[in-house]
Structure 1
Amino acid sequence: MNAHTSTYVLVPGAWHGGWSWRPVAERLRAAGHRAFCLTLPGLADGDDPTGLGLNDAVDHVVSEVERLGLSDVTLVGHSWGGYPIAGAAHHLSSKVAKVVYYAAQIPIRGRSMLEDNPPEAAAMLQELIDASPNGAISPTLQFVQDIFMQNVDEQSQRLIADLLTPQPGGYFTDSLDVPSLIEMGIPSLYIIGEDDRALPRSGSEFAARVGVEPILVPGTHEGMLTHPDEIATAILKG
């Protein structure tokens, strides 16, 4: 390991597992760095999502960094994964060198993801949570085709829809009570796909929450799968 080796901990978004970051992780490793792809509680194949809350996701990121003995870490989060990495950065502040948000939602202290969404979207998600016997939101092919991965070949869309797992509702309804990255003095980077249509706010608005300008890359909300070269390059240059 040389002096310029960095350590990346990649956290997936809602419905996704660590598999979604593997193409980017392989490119980071090829560039001489270490990369760890996490799968959060409730989102591995066969997991029970019942009763899980945001703190469970935050605690998992923290415990994995500590278990692996990592330091000088760059936390990278996709989509909803912006929430657990923000919470983990607070608990791991002495071990975190940077936080990278890719097509991510950046939390506001005391506001849940549902509360930060437009009212109609929040109401729809809450209805799905309330209607579920285990309080989780199941993925659908239509969601992938219309929001996550539009204008991509149908075979790829179906493959991703089959890989997604139900999202624990508590991950959306819980909030964080931690300072912002700006308050903690942790550098950050915000990357957004040019054709992303999944976020409830613009990339510029989210990036402004951590005091940076967004970096545009090709692709939809699933660009880490369709454009891993460009995502990896943006992370490394940042």
Structure 2
Amino acid sequence: MSDFVMVAGTWLGAWAWDEVAEELRGAGHTVHAVTLSGLAERRNTQPAGQRTHVRDIVEEVERLDLGDVVLVGHSYAGIPVGQAAERIGDRLRRVVFVDGNVPVDGESFLSGWPSDHVRRAIDGHDGHAGYWPPLGPEDYAGQGLTDQQIARIVGGSTPHPGMTLTEPAILAGPLDALPATYVKCLLDGDEPMPAVAALLKSDSWELVTLDTGHWPMFSQPSALARVLHAAARP
């Protein structure tokens, strides 16, 4: 069995993985869900950038002296998780990107984004003091979520540190050399983003699809747990 280290995307903390973690533990795996600096119960920690988030993940693996690690990054968290996967070396079994961004050397989460309202928020120009404010309930429509699931996400979300979205990723080598699984959630678009499509040409990467939206840990936790369990197999 594997040691799962799981990181949720913007606005979320370790709590987002509760249902998936329970199923993986039932299958015999060890699960460590990580809350990144500046979010959820760590909201009042020192200002965090993307490099802080990479350290959060690497330090969790090293602190617990984990081996046979499956790193899981959802959405934004794919960027720090992809960098951390390089840094933990032989401890890594596989990295899994759940409908996530992937790090591109020298580029940030917002590279190529046309979204001015996000930039205004993180620059502090709209009163949010350098944080990306959480989405409202209406923004989760069409993602396969029940009203109760949406309420849970919205109720647990906290503002996301803006500097994590603007710092560039730093990669030591080609990401396509890592053993990786990319989970594409089809209600969020049926084609992977171009950076992901390029990586999926590698023999080291595999594509798995789920017929749900961008937050499968809430909408289809059992199906996601099965995908993760399969990814952990030798």
- Distance in 1 separating the partners of 2:66 and 2:175: 20
CA contact (8 A) 2:146 2:219 kept: no
Q: 2:183 corresponds to which residue? A: 191
Counterpart in the other structure of 1:167: 160
1:67 & 1:50 partners in 2: Cα distance? 20
Please give the per-residue CA displacement for 1:30-62, whole angstroms capped at 9, x wherever unaligned. 111111111000012362376311011000101
TM-score by length of 2: 0.87
Unpaired segments of 5 or more residues in structure 1?
none
Partner of 1:61: 57
1:209 to 161, 182, 199: 199
Structure 1 residue 142 displacement after superposition:
4.3
Query: What's the counterpart of residue 174 of structure 2?
Result: 180
Report matched runs for 1:18-97 at 5 Å. 18-45=14-41, 47-48=43-44, 51-97=47-93
| Partner residue of 2:150 out of 157, 169, 185 | 157
Counterpart AA for 1:181: L
Ranges in structure 2 where 5+ consecutive residues have no aligned partner: none
Moved more, 46-55 or 35-44: 46-55
Question: Matched residues in 2 for 1:30 and 1:151: separation?
Answer: 25
Residue 129 (structure 1) shift: 1.0
Contact 1:49/1:167 (<8 A) preserved: no
Aligned-CA RMSD value = 2.1
Count of aligned pairs: 224
Secondary structure (helix, strand or coil) at the match of 2:182 reads strand
Contact 1:50 1:168 in 2 (8 A): no
- 8 Å contact kept, 1:49–1:134: no
Report the counterpart of residue 5 of structure 2 in structure 1: 9
Cα distance, 1:216–1:151 mapped onto 2, change above 3 Å: closer
Contact 2:181–2:207 (Cα < 8 Å) also in 1: yes
Q: Which residue of 2 aligns with 1:140?
A: 135
Instruction: State the match for 2:223 in structure 1.
Output: 230
Contact 1:53 1:170 (C-alpha < 8 Å) held by counterparts: yes
Residues 78 and 104 of structure 1 are in contact (CA less than 8 Å); yes or no, is this contact kept in structure 2? Answer: yes
CA deviation profile, 1:115-167 (whole Å, cap 9, x unmatched): 143xx22x221111122453111113146424xx6453333312211111110
Amino acid at match of 2:191: S
Find the aligned partners of 1:13 and 1:232 in 2 and give their Cα distance. 17
